[in-house]
Structure 1
Amino acid sequence: MNLILLHPDEVKNNRTVLTDARAKHIRKVLKAAPGKSLRVGVVNGPLGHGVVERIDSEDVELVCSFEKSLPARPKVDLLLAMPRPKVLKRLWAQFAALGVGKIVLLRAGKVERCYFDSHVIEPDFYVNLLLEGLQQARCTHLPEVQIEPLFKPYIEDRFANDFSEHWKLLADPSGKKRIRDFQCPDGAQRTVLAVGPEGGWTDYELEMLRGKGFALLGMGDRILRTDTAVVGLLSLLHEWAE
């Protein structure tokens, strides 16, 4: 835990009292004593420092000071064909740690309908994993999550509103261009990366997505699992943007 992440309603008059796993981490891992300064941040808010004012076996009280400016929101969004639930479980924290602003989980043709009945897409499950990723990466921006169980209605009716100012990249083994071959178009404020299921996008889905302005992006001849492809592509995109 590289950042003690606080919810806005936990901070009153620049003070907070923690009694949960964060307090345990401060006591057991950081071995903090009164006067110790710790990195803190507010979910979707500023970064700052919290000085330990009181610590005991039950709770930890911090006096906080925060930066005036907010950290930049990640400029990469993700349109992801719903992976197997056990794969998605591994990915939630990575989405936040690597820096994704918005995640749209979409049902593609080669995605089992039952995946959308899984508890891993319930906010009570995934929010804690997203927070874990933010604390690892020292970031405060909680990714927005949107569930879309029908491909065609979403792409036809709502996709344009969600990603109107985006540069659009479509990951597929048929893509001949690598990320280094692209230049972000003028006027694009953000990037949306579309990653298909392990069985691949169907020809119909590729046609629809390309009709919405997506450019094909390849990573070579190797066929990758969803979690490997997502982590690799997000890392490449952020490195390229820098």
Structure 2
Amino acid sequence: MNIVLFEKNETGTRFERNDIRINHVTEILGRKEGDSFDAGIVNGKSGKAILSRIREKSVELQFELDREEPPLPPIDVIVGLSRPQTSRKILQEATAVGARSLTFVSTERGEPSYANSKLWKTGEWRRHVVAGAAQAFSTRIPSVVFGISFEEAITQLDCGGERIALDNYEAKHHLADIPFSQSSIVVAIGSERGWTSSERKALRAEEFELAHIGDRPLRTETAVVAGLALLNHRLRS
């Protein structure tokens, strides 16, 4: 982790020495009593935290957080619900690359049982987006939605913004070549087996343009990262 993130209700509290974040600071970074490290509040300010007191079983921190974090890139991702291990990768890596929201949807080729994973049932998913933000040296995490259908996701979108759907079979243009006229983007990416014909028809009906990112079929998590990297570049250029 390139920045150590804490929840809003944790500042000014004592932490156990076996807290994974404290262990990272003292054992991996080698910080001692009186030393500082990069820290921030999830969706809040960033700055420094000081190891003000180290005891045998606990550590006391002093926070000096004075930097406002920039907003997340205006990219909203709709992605087909995949195997839990794949979804974990998407949560972390999409957050690290930069996205404003992640919506995981059921698709015709997706396995319905994936929605019952402990990843979603126990709230484990949040740990992965926080880890992604820490990797990216950011406090901002995307909003995450799950448990809705593909149809709900694409028909309940707010007006405005570019609408792109990644597809290897019927897309005629590369994502890098599609002209953008809007400052925000919704990108839809299918589950591990891709879109069906009826889903492509529904996407087109909701004004999504199909685009590809090359001739090679990619894993869902790889397509998410590659697509986001291209889109972030396009928005900055």
TM-score normalised by structure 2 residue count: 0.90
1:1-242 matches, within 5 Å, as 1-11=1-11, 15-19=12-16, 20-122=19-121, 124-156=123-155, 159-161=156-158, 164-173=159-168, 174-185=170-181, 188-242=182-236
Give, in angstroms, the shift of residue 67 of structure 1: 2.5
C-alpha displacement at 1:64, in angstroms?
Answer: 1.7
Q: 5+ unaligned residues in a row in structure 1: which ranges?
A: none
CA distance in 2, matches of 1:102, 1:122: 19
Matched AA of 1:179? L
Identity of aligned residues (%): 29
Taking structure 1 as reference, are residues 74 and 17 closer, same or farther at Cα in structure 2, changes over 3 Å only? Answer: farther
Give the C-alpha shift of residue 105 in structure 1.
Answer: 0.8
Amino acid corresponding to residue 106 of structure 1 in structure 2: V
Contact between 2:37 and 2:50, CA under 8 Å: does it hold in 1? yes
Contact kept, 8 Å, 2:192 with 2:219, in 1: the verdict is: yes
Count of aligned pairs between the two proteins = 233
Q: SS at 1:224's partner residue?
A: coil
TM-score of the superposed pair, with normalisation by structure 1: 0.88
Question: What is the CA distance between 1:16 and its match in structure 2?
Answer: 4.2
Distance 2:113 2:94 in 1: 23
The 2-side partners of 1:215 and 1:102 are apart by 20
CA RMSD, Structure 1 to Structure 2 (Å): 1.9
CA drift at 1:208: 1.3
CA contact (8 A) 1:165 1:189 kept: no
| Counterpart amino acid of residue 94 in structure 2 | F
What secondary structure sits across from 2:76 in the alignment? strand
